[in-house]
Amino acid sequence: RIMRELAPLYVDVRHKYTEQDPKQIKKYMDMVVEKVPWITRYEDCWPVKVYTRKWLDKTRWDNKHQRPFKDFAEQKANGTAKSELQVSRASRGRPRSQPQAGDRHRHSQEVPCAPSTSSPRSASSTIVNEYSAPAGKVAVFEPHMGFVRDFLRGLRPSMEDLTPEFVSAGLVNEMCLVALAEMPDWEKDKLLRDDMSLKPFQMRVVRVGLAELQV
């Protein structure tokens, strides 16, 4: 959590990690070490670098894919409002035709039509549903198995061989791993031991890595 709060203050999301200002990265690393001194027991503070790279890649990916969708939604909303305005102006400018005498007499003999069963509420709901539906869905669990593999490879000892078990259990990206890390201990143990059938030693190594994701 500390890195999640500090990263936006020092890291420029417009550039890759290798393109960052070294001075800003050093300030960022120093601040993380100040907040979490025990992180220095890892060589070159590698968990900080791994997390920051993945956070930066994810943020850049989200910004790249959400911006076009937002622009499309705004264009669609503006276009709809413009069309409605044009229709409204056209209807106000069109003169109303006066019924002929024969027409008035014929209409007076016709049986009035039954009222529509659709209420203004249902009609408005239809309009809201039509224009509020997104043009495309962004998968919440978009697979980024590279992060899962890197996470397991970075454990000591490496647990990279467990990648298929993690993916089969639904742990397919950083969001899933962070959510697991923030679960109560008994929930973690239930998933790792009962659902994924990890050995006691494997569980402890993975639990250490999950704890580092919460930093």
Can you give the pLDDT of all 215 residues of the chain as single tens digits?
666 676 667 777 777 777 778 888 788 778 788 877 886 777 776 777 787 788 777 877 776 766 544 454 455 555 555 555 555 555 555 555 454 544 554 444 444 444 444 444 433 333 334 333 344 443 444 556 788 888 898 898 999 999 998 898 888 888 888 888 888 888 888 899 989 999 999 999 998 888 887 76
Assigned domain for 118 exists = no
pTM to 2 decimals? 0.37
Structure tokens at 10: 């020092």
In a domain, 18, yes or no: yes
Secondary structure of 137-170 as H, E, C letters:
CCCCCCCCHHHHHHHHHCCCCCCHHHHHHHHHCC
To 10 degrees, the CA torsion angle through 70, 74, 79, 84?
130
In whole angstroms, what is the distance from residue 66 CA to residue 71 CA? 9
Of 83, 105, 128, at which residue does a domain stop? 83
- The verdict on residue 56 lying in a domain is yes
The total of other beta-carbon atoms located within 10 Å of residue 210's CB is: 19
Count the residues in the chain. Answer: 215
The answer to whether position 45 is within a domain reads: yes
For the chain, what is the domain count?
2
Residue 15 φ/ψ, nearest 5 degrees: -125, 155
Domain closes at, from 83, 110, 126: 83
Residue 97 lies in a domain: no
Question: Would 100 be classed as within a structural domain?
Answer: no
- Last residue of some domain: 83, 102, 134? 83
In a domain, 129, yes or no: no
Q: Is residue 147 part of a domain?
A: yes
Domain that includes residue 170, residue range: 143-215
Contacts of 163 (CB under 8 A, 6+ apart): 145, 148, 149, 152
